[in-house]
Copies of this chain bind each other. A is one copy, B any other.
Amino acid sequence: MSRTKVIDALRCTDFNKEITVKGWVRSHRSSKAVDFIALNDGSTIKNIQIVAAPEKFDAKMLRSITTGACIRATGLLVESQGKGQTVEVQATEIEVYGLCPADYPMQKKGQSFEYMRQYAHMRLRTNTFGAVFRIRHNMAIAIHKYFHEHGFYYFNTPLITASDAEGAGEMFQVTTLDLDRVAKSGKVEYDKDFFGKKTNLTVSGQLEGELGATALGAIYTFGPTFRAENSNTPRHLAEFWMIEPEVAFMDKDELMDLEEDFIKYCVRWALDNCRDDLEFLNKMIDKTLIQTLESVINEDFVRLPYTEGINVLQQAVKDGHQFEFPVTGWGMDLASEHERFLVEEHFKRPVIMTDYPTGIKAFYMKKNPDGKTMQGTDVLFPRIGEIIGGSVREENYQKLLDEIDRRDMKESTYSWYLDTRKYGSCPHAGFGLGFERLILFVTGMQNIRDVIPFPRTPKNAEF
């Protein structure tokens, strides 16, 4: 009596055969003549309908099968007479694995996302979160598949680190010191800490990724990253997942080609492999979702030097467009609303912005010969703003060292990084993509806390 997954049962055309399905009850309607149980097992957003003739079953057992209960149903798979499904199971046996008391927090439909976040361990059993996390899985698969097929090696950079990648943000400290003892003794003895020094959780694997790329040729990281910023917004997490490819011998044009090809591949994968879930989200969350995804894969991205982008924004202001943050001119850092204006209103397609002013970006970016700009290549997306931050890396030892000094960074902290420029230095480039930003885009969800199973945010580390 082997189990058939609901996704397979629904595709089955081998009627009048006995099958066994197992799952959780989404709804149970009873009448004198017949009971209908909608059963879901997580393999698909769709339910399979179990039809039970009340006279064949114990009445008390049947009544106990409420929303959220877990059961096995065995019976004939038949073509369905009812609307909304093609097959159903005419139950001959039902076994209850687990009842579901009335205080089940996902009992009612249409609860707010805020309410459901409090029950992040139970929201996984709802249609919306089932769809979101099946899509999240598929995006991870697309990412690994893309890089594997293109000759990149998955490279696991460390999470615990004694270096600060780029001053990218506030960090979490990692320690085995007993804090109560620190308080009592009045001393912080790092020589007694696990690593013998102060260590933190990484804010980026890029610098270590460059070590991999300048040996293996092309690598990508895909792992957790941390920021201890006290940001209570729908766009920030303290713990999130990043993808950071890094490629030896890649120049700026090839980097932009990679960024565009990669992200289109991921979006196309979702359209090809997550149709049922996308259609559900398109109906329930964002009616323009599928259309937006399709437009991204069908359009060439605009490749826009920063200087031209500033001109466009200044012209928009002259034409009467109101921005919340002022467009102060060349040298300014773009706010999300500026990026979205370029993408959503001006060009109406994704933009790769390039050649940012020296100084507003990280120390490792390669300088252009003009001395004023650096070879950054950020991808700006509708609804999201910056989805990818990329650049060619400065491969010249002396220039990189000068920039480290100019920024008052500690040279000794980066000696291992500088070694890549000292021994057989090579031109190279790479980018970073926040995984949850991609999932937000592909699912149409609005809050980043709803696209990771157990979000970590200020004052929240539940589950």
Contacts and interface: CB of A to CB of B under 8 A. Distances in A.
This chain's copy number in the assembly: 2
B172 A194 contact: yes
A151 B3 CA distance: 14
Given A156-B453, A416-B121, A462 B162 contact: yes
A175 interface: yes
Interface stretch (A215-223, A258-266, A298-306): A215-223
A459 B197 CA distance: 8
A170 interface: yes
A175 B176 contact: no
Contacts of A212: 124, 133, 453
Given A99-B424, A183-B185, A416-B121, A158 B248 contact: no
Interface residues of A, number: 108
A130 to B, nearest CB: 7
Contact of A249 (B3, B134, B218, B238): B3
A307 interface: no
A367 B228 CA distance: 42
B196 A459 contact: yes
A186 interface: yes
A5 B395 CA distance: 20
A201 interface: yes
Interface string A440-462: 00000000000011101011111
A199 interface: yes
Given A3-B249, A134-B153, A183-B188, A195 B456 contact: yes
A79 interface: no
A137 B151 CA distance: 10
Contacts of A33: none
A174 B173 contact: yes
Nearest to A417: B121
A282 interface: no
A463 B238 contact: no
A42 B133 contact: no
Contact of A453 (B155, B226, B454, B458): B155
Nearest to A217: B42
B196 A174 contact: no
A463 B217 CA distance: 19
Interface in A161-199: 161-163, 170, 172-177, 179-180, 182-188, 194-197, 199
A275 interface: no
A78 interface: no
Given A22-B248, A101-B422, A211-B463, 9 more contacts: A42-B153, A42-B215, A68-B423, A69-B424, A125-B214, A155-B453, A157-B454, A160-B239, A160-B456
15 contacts: A3-B249, A23-B217, A24-B424, A43-B217, A69-B424, A121-B419, A125-B215, A136-B153, A141-B154, A159-B224, A159-B239, A160-B461, A175-B175, A194-B459, A196-B458
